[in-house]
């Protein structure tokens, strides 16, 4: 099983490495095409494509770091390296989108002539590369927040390439130079919306937030439903990483049940694992007579 997982990880690394190479080559071609044609949208697409390549490099490095086992310095392991990488990538996307929006507005106010055919040819090549890169990363993006951030970088770039092609056609047919800036503004708006939507989940993990599912109330309710449990308090539910939820809580046993403490704890852990997939649960058991008094149900509080 572990050998298969190891092979799968390195297969994913090879796909990411291939995507990095083609995106760096495309960035050079797009910048050259943008300078020759005078197209802001093409240069904007090139900048975004460069960010695609950088996001893929960050994702690749983070995947390798995340596979390191826990040690004395990082007792939970290194899996959150992928969450940090996702935060870096989404933040970069937001900054790029704001910059492109600024340049697009300036282009609307004072448009410059652009070469339509160069825009169309280079953006067409870019679209093919974007689709190849998306194919390389799509399957992995379903399981990894880190790869999903890189995949969305690339998806936005593919849409940007389509916008540049449309803009190039309109320039050729009607000399509508402002459409270049309008396309850029559209790219910037979409990237900004997409990044703002996704970054919240990344920040919540880094802030030790609870997952969307299961809710803290559901988990506490399930523990209280175990025979012999009188109360639950000082509960902490958080995502250790994208696919691993952890729990820490005080559990007060009913009067006369202290002799069954080990069995009750085992039942709680089985229920948490089978119902919610929570495999990391630290439970502090208290007897009915010496349990915390007026303790907060969630988080720290007076006891």
Q: Give the Cα-Cα-Cα angle 66, 81, 281 (nearest 5 degrees).
A: 75
Alpha carbon 206 to its chain's center: 11
Q: Give the Cα-Cα-Cα angle 147, 77, 67 (nearest 5 degrees).
A: 45
Per-residue pLDDT, averaged over 107-123, amounts to 70
Q: Where are the alpha helices (DSSP H) in 1-80?
A: 2-37, 40-66
DSSP assignment string, 135-149: HHHHHHHTT-HHHHH
Domain(s) labelled CATH 1.20.1510.10 in the chain stretch across 2-206
Domain(s) labelled CATH 3.30.70.1350 in the chain stretch across 216-286
Residues 6+ apart with CB under 8 A from 134: 151, 154, 155, 158
- Count the Cβ atoms, other than its own, within 10 Å of residue 73: 6
Q: What confidence tier does 102 reach under pLDDT thresholds 50, 70, 90?
A: confident
117, 122, 167, 225 from 36: Cα distances, Å: 11, 11, 16, 70
- Residues 134 and 141: their CA atoms lie apart, in Å, by 9
Render pLDDT for 178-217 as a digit per residue (tens, 0 to 9): 777 787 788 788 888 888 888 998 999 999 999 888 899 9
pLDDT at position 177: 67
- Residues 72 and 74: their CA atoms lie apart, in Å, by 6
- Count the Cβ atoms, other than its own, within 10 Å of residue 201: 18
Write down the CATH superfamily of domain 2-206: Cation efflux protein transmembrane domain (1.20.1510.10)
- 216-286 topology per CATH: Alpha-Beta Plaits (3.30.70)
Of the candidates 34, 51, 9, the residue with the CA atom closest to the CA atom of residue 150: 51
Render pLDDT for 118-141 as a digit per residue (tens, 0 to 9): 777 777 877 887 788 777 777 777
Asked whether 188 and 104 are in contact (CB, 8 A), the reply is yes
- Count the Cβ atoms, other than its own, within 10 Å of residue 131: 14
């Amino acid at each position: 099983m572990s050998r298969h997982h190891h092979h799968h990880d390195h297969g994913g690394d090879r796909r990411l490495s291939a995507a990095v190479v083609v995106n760096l080559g495309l960035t050079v071609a797009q910048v050259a095409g943008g300078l020759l044609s005078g197209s802001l949208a093409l240069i904007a697409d090139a900048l975004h494509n460069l960010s695609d390549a950088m996001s893929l490099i960050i994702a690749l490095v983070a995947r390798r770091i995340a596979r390191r086992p826990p040690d004395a310095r990082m007792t939970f392991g290194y899996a959150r390296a992928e969450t940090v990488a996702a935060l870096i990538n989404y933040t970069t996307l937001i900054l790029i989108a704001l910059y492109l929006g600024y340049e697009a507005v300036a282009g609307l106010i004072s448009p410059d002539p652009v070469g339509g055919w160069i825009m169309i040819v280079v953006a067409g090549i870019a679209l093919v590369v974007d689709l190849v890169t998306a194919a390389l990363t799509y399957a992995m993006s379903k399981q990894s927040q880190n790869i999903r951030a890189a995949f969305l970088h690339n998806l936005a770039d593919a849409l940007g390439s389509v916008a540049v092609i449309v803009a190039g056609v309109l320039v050729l047919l009607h000399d509508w130079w402002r459409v270049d800036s309008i396309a850029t503004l559209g790219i910037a708006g979409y990237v900004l919306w997409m990044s703002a939507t996704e970054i919240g989940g990344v920040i919540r993990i880094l802030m030790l937030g609870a997952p969307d599912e299961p809710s803290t109330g559901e988990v506490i309710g399930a523990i209280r439903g175990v025979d012999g449990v009188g109360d639950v308090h000082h509960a902490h539910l958080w995502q250790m990483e994208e696919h691993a939820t952890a729990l820490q809580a005080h559990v007060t046993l009913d009067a006369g049940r202290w002799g069954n403490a080990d069995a009750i704890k085992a039942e709680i852990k089985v229920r948490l694992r089978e119902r919610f997939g929570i495999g990391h649960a630290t439970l502090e058991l208290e007897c009915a007579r010496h349990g915390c008094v007026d303790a907060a149900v969630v988080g720290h509080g007076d006891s």
